Amino acid sequence: MVSYISKSIFNISRSNLLPKMSVIRSISLSASQSSKSLLYNDYGEPADVLKLIEVPDVKPASDQVTVRWLLAPVNPADINTIQGKYPSKPALPAVPGNEGVGEIIDVGASVKGFNVGDKVVPNDNHTGTWRSQANYLPNSLIKIPKTLETIEACMLNVNPCTAYRMLKDFTNLQPGDTVIQNGGNSAVGQFVIQLCKAWNYKSVNIVRDRPDILNLKDYLKKLGATEVLTEAELRTTTLFKSKQLPAPKLAFNCIGGQNALEVLRHLGHSGTMVTYGGMSREPFSVPTAALIFKNIAIKGFWMTAWAKTNGISQEKTNMLNDLAQLFSSKQLQVPSYKIIPLVEYQEAVIKTLQLDGKTGLKYILDLSS
């Protein structure tokens, strides 16, 4: 029996599912040759518009493969997409979910390069992973090393890739250089910390003050953080003026507002700030002096756009292989998570926006349940 608790590790293998939108009926757990899927017909709050449905299993066409989805994280972007607030919107009705891990269970006659048993993750936006089975064209998927644990693989596509690309693509960092970020205990923030440690960069990580701040600091330092500061401590720190650490060359912002400005003030000459989120929903004002006298560059990053541009490229394959190796060598570990049976999806969709970025807790749907 599967125990649904944080950090659960288990093997998953159960029935297949392929959603066909023209054949949808109310969920019936006694039906055979069918599978479960979440679906929404209109944009709105996920707890209101998502419906758990049952759909028939369908053999793949000659140019398709069938994927049994195993685990799928619930990300804030998934919630925003269902709400209709995300820049990229699927055609309705839609199955939510842009991230997850599955295995190939059937292969069409004309498909090359995929075999039954291959482990795959999405290669497209709006793949619809919040279901237990579906048919796909091969270019919608990308194979990953089978050595990855299922729990690691299901979170591979978004947060670790975001951290990886931001560290690789904006500044030519050298061992010993400093990176500063807010949202240091978010899911992306934790991967930034671990990648910095693996690549010999210093990381200064800003978090919100809280009653258990000492425990949080200890946790992040065990992950590899060089320093962890609260927002108040950041305003008065002498880490960089005292030369205890080199002035940061690269800054990451997922908060916005005053918090982002305080981070920017510590960025070194000709440094770069990369914004990839705006959890405070407050605008980020850049002082003119930072642009003129410090030559600061202000950039933005959206992993969805990077993935769309790069498709199944050698660059993407190399990144996934690098991350897989780092997971295998235990230089990367996933953030705290809680696994929820698909039939109990409401807890995950309600709490994800409340918790992500504050606790780092990741809700994951078990698609076999």
Q: What is the pLDDT of residues 24-33, one digit of tens each?
A: 333 333 334 7
Q: What is the mean pLDDT of the chain?
A: 88
* Closest-CA residue to 181 (of 172, 191, 189): 189
**What's at 242, amino acid-wise?**
S
What is the model's pLDDT at position 360?
58
Q: What is the pLDDT of residues 108-136, one digit of tens each?
A: 999 999 999 999 999 988 899 999 999 99
Segment among 143-152, 156-165, 186-195, 217-226 with least mean pLDDT: 143-152
In the chain, the domains with their CATH numbers are 25-155 (3.90.180.10), 159-303 (3.40.50.720)
More reliable by pLDDT, 166 or 144: 166
Q: What is the mean pLDDT of residues 80-100?
A: 93
**Secondary structure of the chain: what % helix, strand, coil (to 5)?**
30, 20, 50
Banded model confidence at residue 12, pLDDT cuts 50, 70, 90: very low
Q: Are 271 and 297 in contact (CB under 8 A)?
A: yes
| Confidence check: pLDDT of 203 > 70 | yes
Q: What is the pLDDT of residues 170-184, one digit of tens each?
A: 999 999 999 999 999
What is the model's pLDDT at position 147?
83
Give the active site residue among 4, 43, 86, 201. 86
Per the annotation, the verdict on 86 as an active-site residue is yes
Cβ neighbours of residue 352 under 8 Å, at least 6 residues apart?
74, 75, 76, 78, 79, 363
H-type helices in 179-256, by residue range? 187-198, 213-223, 231-236
Our measurement of the distance from residue 232's CA atom to the centroid of its chain's CA atoms, rounded to an integer in Å, reads: 28
